[in-house]
Chain A
Amino acid sequence: MSLSQVEKEIEKLQKELLDCNQERKKEIESQIKKQEEYYQHLSPYDHVYLARKSTRPNIKDYINHLFDDFIELHGDRLAKDDGSIVGGIGLFNQQPVTIIGHLKGKTLEDNLKCNFGMSSPEGYRKAMRLMKQAEKFKRPIIAFVDTPGAYPGMEAEMHGIGEAIARNLLEMSLLKVPIITIVIGEGGSGGALALSVSDRLVMLENSVYSILSPEGFASILWKDQEGKRVAEAASLMKLTAKDLYERHIIDHIIDEDLKGATVESYEVYRQIKEYLNTNLKELQKLSTSQLINKRYEKYRKIGQVF
């Protein structure tokens, strides 16, 4: 049994609920309750399912609920404007900040515009341009990660997608302003990494962060093409927020509602606001060299052997 099956089952029961007698109603309600117990024990693959759900808030919802007076800025000043990355400036508690992140659409039409959150080199270069701009005006950077990964396309390769990601990693490690990155859905491979070299890396409870999708993982390691071993791959990969927090890869987890975050999850927005508030204050107290050195140490110690 997986969460997607459980949700279908619940949906079926709820439909039945609309048109039945009192006695049957009680029965169905208890059945629903029983099904809902599943949410207490989600498997890693269930988290992947929730992280990808189209009912989850996307970057635009977070911008609406966390910041005032957002002004979107476009383009990398080199080639084009990549719609899979949203960036701009806004106010957080009256303070100007730069906001950048992947955009995943909620409908097919939206997704065609933002390429399902898969960025091309131009997207990462646009992000870099806005981050440099933030540095110039001493604005903290708040980044949102929500991507299956960088776009595997011919043009992306020809325009140096590897170089674009690499450049972001190098430049972000030297940026003189605080960077807080929040993984809101999928954190897929290098495409996620290119926005997450940060002073604080935060994940939503049901978001995931991994080297590649569990499907890709199973296909590479076990030549599994039909997705038979995807759930097993998800368990081995240690990609949930809880796993990564325990391993000190991330700094904090934002709790979600029992059934995962939705656009109306005001408690999620409140927690993020509180976290940003406290941590921006903390980070802004540091000198520039302290800030950059701490950021270096944070990554230096991951998988440190020597």
Chain B
Amino acid sequence: MMEQLFKERKEKLHLFKSLRKKRENERKEVPEGLYTKCPKCKELILTSKLKKNMSVCPHCGNHLKITAYERLEMIYDQGKYKELYKSTQRVNPLEFPGYDEKLEFLQQKTGLNEAVVVASGKINGTKVITCVMDSRFLMGSMSSIVGDKITKAIEHATKRKYPLIIFTASGGARMQEGIYSLMQMTKTSSALARHHQAGLLYISYITHPTTGGVTASFASLGDIIIGEPQALIGFAGRRVIESTLKQKLPENFQTTEFMEEQGFVDLIVKRQEMRSTLIRILKMHGKGA
């Protein structure tokens, strides 16, 4: 009986690993398509050219979504970093039907273990802890593991006196984890309070889209809050607000530019200037920041 179980598990693991390998190979050898269509201006862009341009549309300047790993490569020295807390463990605290399977499927499909990747590495020689949320994983929603990884990262940065950067991208709460999702807002914010008290630098970097519980916790708590151009930043969803007010909202409502005008974003930075801006800010905060 047990032997059978182990055998099955082994086979599953094997399948999983081979799938993963296959995907990695695909990534290297076959480009996703020669051309990519910009979702905003609908222009066709040579994919290789788009990648060279950091996935910013050369025609309209639209910042296309990039993966957490692509982002990390762009900011760290020589694109090198160490990923932390990589465990593929899954939790289903409310025993929500179908949730385990969904997580397993997404882990295989995206190669991510959850909606956030934590990394440690150097930016212009300064050691920095970075968390990057990835919206390919259940819209970057906040789960226990997302909250836990970010909290661990903050605690680690506090202990070692490192500056911290969090790139946010989130649809908000992870419905399937209910109250556990909500409580991650308190957990992450409390950890940031300690990082703050230790006199350390925290940069919150808003990418598209950042909403709900993430906006109402760590995304809004940076010493410096940077926004990517035209990224969505808000608490309540646009449709919810429109149905409450029974009126149309301004076109640029809840964009980073709009929120900069309102006084809630420090600066908007183009992706091409992301690394150099981070370097300039880090420099002014000393080694330990």
Do A and B make up one complex?
A: yes
Complex contact B186–A173 (CB within 8 A): yes
Complex contact A249–B241 (CB within 8 A): no
Question: Which of A162, A167, A210, A300 is within 8 Å of B215, CB to CB?
Answer: A162
Complex contact A169–B234 (CB within 8 A): no
Question: Is the C-beta of B69 less than 8 angstroms from some C-beta in chain A?
Answer: no
Complex contact A161–B216 (CB within 8 A): yes
Complex contact A211–B181 (CB within 8 A): yes
Query: Known: A152-B236, A159-B262, A300-B151. Contact between A306 and B85, CB under 8 A?
Result: yes
Q: How far is the CA of A154 from the CA of B89 in the complex (A)?
A: 40
Q: State which size class the interface on A falls in.
A: 35 or more
Give every chain B residue within 8 A of A174 (Cβ-Cβ). Answer: 193, 197
Question: Which of B96, B197, B212, B218 is within 8 Å of A236, CB to CB?
Answer: B96
Give every chain A residue within 8 A of B49 (Cβ-Cβ). Answer: none
Give every chain B residue within 8 A of A236 (Cβ-Cβ). Answer: 94, 96-97, 178
Query: Known: A174-B193, A300-B151. Contact between A239 and B178, CB under 8 A?
Result: yes
Question: Is the C-beta of A13 less than 8 angstroms from some C-beta in chain B?
Answer: no
Question: Is the C-beta of B145 less than 8 angstroms from some C-beta in chain A?
Answer: yes
Query: Known: A152-B240, A160-B264, A237-B94. Contact between A166 and B179, CB under 8 A?
Result: no
Give every chain A residue within 8 A of B259 (Cβ-Cβ). Answer: 160
Q: B258 — nearest CB in chain A belongs to which residue?
A: A158
Tally chain B residues at the interface, Cβ within 8 Å.
62
Secondary structure of the A side of the interface? helix
Give every chain B residue within 8 A of A305 (Cβ-Cβ). Answer: 87, 89, 91, 144-145, 148
Taking the closest CB of chain A, its distance from the CB of B129, in whole angstroms, is 14
Taking the closest CB of chain B, its distance from the CB of A186, in whole angstroms, is 14
Q: B234 — nearest CB in chain A belongs to which residue?
A: A157
Query: Known: A211-B175, A306-B85. Contact between A154 and B245, CB under 8 A?
Result: yes
Question: Which of B93, B96, B184, B241 is within 8 Å of A157, CB to CB?
Answer: B241
Question: Which of B189, B245, B263 is within 8 Å of A166, CB to CB?
Answer: B189
Give every chain B residue within 8 A of A237 (Cβ-Cβ). Answer: 94, 178-179
Question: Is the C-beta of A66 less than 8 angstroms from some C-beta in chain B?
Answer: no
> Which residues of chain A (195-219) have a CB below 8 Å from chain B?
197, 209-212, 217
- Against A, the Cβ 8 Å flags (1 = close, 0 = not) of B197-212 are 1000000000000001
Give every chain B residue within 8 A of A153 (Cβ-Cβ). Answer: 236, 241, 244-245
Complex contact A169–B235 (CB within 8 A): no
Q: How far is the CA of A239 from the CA of B179 in the complex (A)?
A: 8
Query: Known: A303-B177, A306-B87. Contact between A165 and B234, CB under 8 A?
Result: no
Give every chain B residue within 8 A of A197 (Cβ-Cβ). Answer: 186, 189-190
Give every chain A residue within 8 A of B181 (Cβ-Cβ). Answer: 211
Give every chain A residue within 8 A of B217 (Cβ-Cβ). Answer: 165-166, 169
Q: Chain B: residues with CB nearer than 8 A to chain A?
A: 85, 87, 89, 91, 93-94, 96-97, 144-145, 147-149, 151-152, 173, 175-187, 189-194, 196-197, 212-213, 215-221, 233-237, 240-241, 244-245, 249, 253-254, 259, 262-264
> What are 14 A-B pairs with beta-carbon distances under 8 A?
A159-B262, A161-B235, A162-B220, A162-B235, A163-B216, A163-B220, A165-B216, A169-B186, A169-B189, A174-B197, A190-B213, A212-B173, A299-B183, A305-B145
Q: 5 tightest A-B contacts by CB?
A: A303-B144, A162-B215, A152-B236, A169-B189, A173-B190
